[in-house]
């Protein structure tokens, strides 16, 4: 009776987490970060007002998806020597991401030799500075896109203490997690699925009620135990020694009950 109560509690917990989450098995998480190489200035302040991404299949004009970011002025020279800052993140359909667009405000400035000067920013850059990234996103995998803003090459002195901003930015995407997928058969087994690392449960989900498919997302590299706890009269199952690597979806095949 005690085991049944514990199992029932686990099902309630997983069901609640699943209902509260809006994510699904066909999406990826993309995190956008900003960094910079060193420049011969005291400050390079860039006014970032928006970040948007565009998938390859979207409408060229209207298919942009905005990130929820903290807008404001970022001093690039605080983001050197391996440091970066999070601009924002977005959940996207798995597939190809073609471009990213930065929207810059007018409050850009530079400090050199103790003197702060305005950075002239063309209106085209304020409406949207587009970068081609051409990145493929796998379902269930989290990615980090680092925007490396080259301050030294992005500032153009026009003389008389005046400067223009002509951004030189390199975009680098990399996976930051792995995932595990598979199929439960028969579908009626309807197990709750748990990823166990040592004694800790690090991820949970249910198999799809129609197809039996499941996807456990956002896993760090490592070796895990996967438990399948059914309350439908089927014997519970487990898989041990399941290896997860960054950027890869480990396929467990069919889990037969």
pLDDT of residue 128: 79
Greatest distance between any 2 Cα atoms in the chain: 83
| Contacts by 238-245, CB closer than 8 A, 24 or more apart | 242/180, 244/178, 244/179, 244/180, 244/219, 244/220, 245/178, 245/221
Q: The pTM is what?
A: 0.81
In 3D space, the residue among 189, 176, 175 whose CA is nearest the CA of residue 228 turns out to be: 189
Least trusted range by pLDDT, from 12-16, 34-38, 168-172, 229-233: 12-16
Residue-wise pLDDT tens digits, 59-109: 666 678 999 998 999 999 899 888 899 999 999 888 888 889 999 988 999
Could you tell me if 251 and 216 are in contact, meaning their C-beta atoms sit under 8 angstroms apart?
no
pLDDT for position 153: 87
Give the residue with greater pLDDT, 52 vs 233.
Answer: 52
Residue 73, C-beta contacts closer than 8 angstroms, at least 6 positions apart: 45, 46, 47, 48, 107, 108
What was the pLDDT predicted at 124?
62
Residue 125 has pLDDT above 80, yes or no: no
CB 194 within 8 A of CB 219: no
Closest to 137 (Cα-Cα) out of 25, 28, 247: 28
Residue 143, pLDDT score:
95
Nearest alpha carbon to residue 142 among 215, 85, 210: 215
Is pLDDT at 222 greater than 90 in this prediction? yes
* pLDDT of amino acid 202: 94
**Segment 28-54 mean pLDDT:** 90
- Cβ contacts of 135 within 8 Å, gap of 6 or more: 96, 97, 143, 145, 173
| Phi, psi dihedrals of residue 77, rounded to the nearest 5° | -75, -5
Nearest CA to 252 out of 241, 221, 111, 3 is that of 241
Mean pLDDT of 169-176: 90
Q: In this structure, are residues 141 and 179 in contact, taking their beta carbons and an 8 Å threshold?
A: yes
- H or E segment at 5? helix 2-20
Tell me the pLDDT band of 22, cut-offs 50, 70 and 90.
very low
Query: Residue 205: is its pLDDT beyond 80?
Result: yes
């Amino acid at each position: 009776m005690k085991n049944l109560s514990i199992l029932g509690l686990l099902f309630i917990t997983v069901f609640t987490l699943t209902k509260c989450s809006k994510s699904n098995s066909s999406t990826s998480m993309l995190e956008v970060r900003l960094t910079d190489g060193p420049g011969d200035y005291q400050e390079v302040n860039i006014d970032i007002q928006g970040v948007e991404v565009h998938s390859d299949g979207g409408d060229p004009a209207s298919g942009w998806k905005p990130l929820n970011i903290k807008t404001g002025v970022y001093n690039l020279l605080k983001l050197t020597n391996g440091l970066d800052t999070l601009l924002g993140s977005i959940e996207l359909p798995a597939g190809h991401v073609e471009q990213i667009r930065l929207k810059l405000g007018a409050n850009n400035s530079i400090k050199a030799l103790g003197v702060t000067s305005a950075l002239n920013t063309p209106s085209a850059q304020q409406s949207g500075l587009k970068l081609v990234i051409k990145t493929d996103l796998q379902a269930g995998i989290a990615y980090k896109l680092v925007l490396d803003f080259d301050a030294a090459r992005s500032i153009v002195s026009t003389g008389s203490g005046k400067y223009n901003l002509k951004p030189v930015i390199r975009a680098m995407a990399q996976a930051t997690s792995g995932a595990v997928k598979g199929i439960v058969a028969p579908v009626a087994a309807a197990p709750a699925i748990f990823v166990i690392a040592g004694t800790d449960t690090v991820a949970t989900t249910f198999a799809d009620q129609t197809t039996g498919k499941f996807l456990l997302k956002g896993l760090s590299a490592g070796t895990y135990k996967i438990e399948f706890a059914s309350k439908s009269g089927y014997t519970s199952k487990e898989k041990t020694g399941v290896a997860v690597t960054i950027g890869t979806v480990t396929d467990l095949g069919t889990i037969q009950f």
